[in-house]
């Protein structure tokens, strides 16, 4: 397991860009990035996220001849983001798939459309998240909100594992799963959001141990950003704003 503790998503962009720039040949690899409403790390190319780290990551992937799959609960937004990327990189392949990561059927659809288009998956970024009741608490208030936060943040990640790990194992090549937790994955303040982020660390560690036992070529990473100046912070009080996921695949 590779934990990456980050103070901001800007630093995350720097690390990812450096990795993409210095690593092996990525030609025709496929990357999946998952998102949702008002994501703290939105994949929009118009600066929706202040640091726009996902934009930088996706552009790096396209520059490395990779195929990019963008998943977001808001169909219009993800298609518009994909269109903007496609215009900037007309010779590259970008796929947009409307996806609700809290729905197993929706994540299965994301997998099926990715494999239909590209035939493989090499990088999975489980980035979907909702803030829910972080400020107001929720251990004895708002059971439905608690279920909703865990269904998106935690089960969105679990759905990604169940949908894409079997395909990665079948391929047999080196693959990477990057799960976004939070510095709150090491702390326990009030609300269900930190609980979900602790859960992401736990399921990532469990997956790492299972894959190590299988002697697979799949690497599991956890990114743990701190507070960043993005719409995720602006929308803390809106308990129905979702976030996104990202998938990268190769031909």
Catalytic residues: 193
Do the beta carbons of residue 70 and residue 107 sit within 8 Å? no
SS (H, E, C) 52-121: CHHHHHHHHHHHCCCEEEEEECCHHHHHHHHHHHHHHCCCCCEEEEECCCCCHHHHHHHHHHHHHHHCCC
H or E segment to which residue 235 belongs: none
Element at 202 (helix H, strand E): helix 193-213
Alpha carbon distances (Å) from 68 to 50, 118, 190, 236, 242: 21, 10, 36, 29, 21
Provide the 3-class DSSP secondary structure of residue 251.
coil
Which residues are within 8 A (CB) of 79 and not within 5 positions of it... i.e. 6 or more apart? Answer: 96, 98
Cα separation of 71 and 32, whole Å? 7
């Amino acid at each position: 397991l590779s934990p990456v503790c980050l103070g901001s998503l800007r630093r995350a962009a720097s690390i990812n860009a450096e990795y993409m720039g210095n690593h092996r040949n990525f030609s025709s690899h496929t990357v999946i990035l998952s998102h949702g409403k008002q994501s703290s790390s939105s994949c929009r190319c118009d600066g929706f996220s202040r640091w726009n780290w996902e934009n930088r990551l996706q552009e790096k992937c396209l520059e490395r001849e990779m195929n990019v799959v963008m998943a977001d609960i808001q169909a219009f937004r993800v298609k518009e983001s994909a269109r903007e990327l496609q215009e900037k990189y007309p010779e590259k392949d970008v796929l947009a798939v409307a996806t609700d990561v809290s729905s197993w059927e929706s994540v299965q659809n994301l997998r099926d459309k990715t494999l239909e288009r590209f035939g493989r998956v090499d990088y999975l970024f489980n980035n979907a998240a909702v803030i829910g009741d972080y400020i107001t608490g929720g251990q004895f208030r708002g059971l439905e909100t608690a279920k909703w936060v865990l269904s998106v943040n935690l089960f969105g990640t679990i759905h990604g594992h169940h949908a894409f790990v079997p395909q990665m194992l079948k391929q047999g090549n080196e693959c990477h799963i990057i799960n976004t937790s939070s510095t709150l994955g090491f702390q326990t303040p009030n609300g269900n959001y930190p609980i979900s982020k602790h859960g992401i660390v736990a399921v990532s560690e469990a997956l790492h141990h299972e894959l190590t036992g299988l002697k697979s070529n799949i690497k599991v990473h956890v990114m743990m950003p701190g507070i960043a100046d993005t719409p995720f912070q602006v929308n803390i009080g809106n308990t129905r704003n979702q976030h996104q996921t990202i998938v990268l695949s190769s031909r």
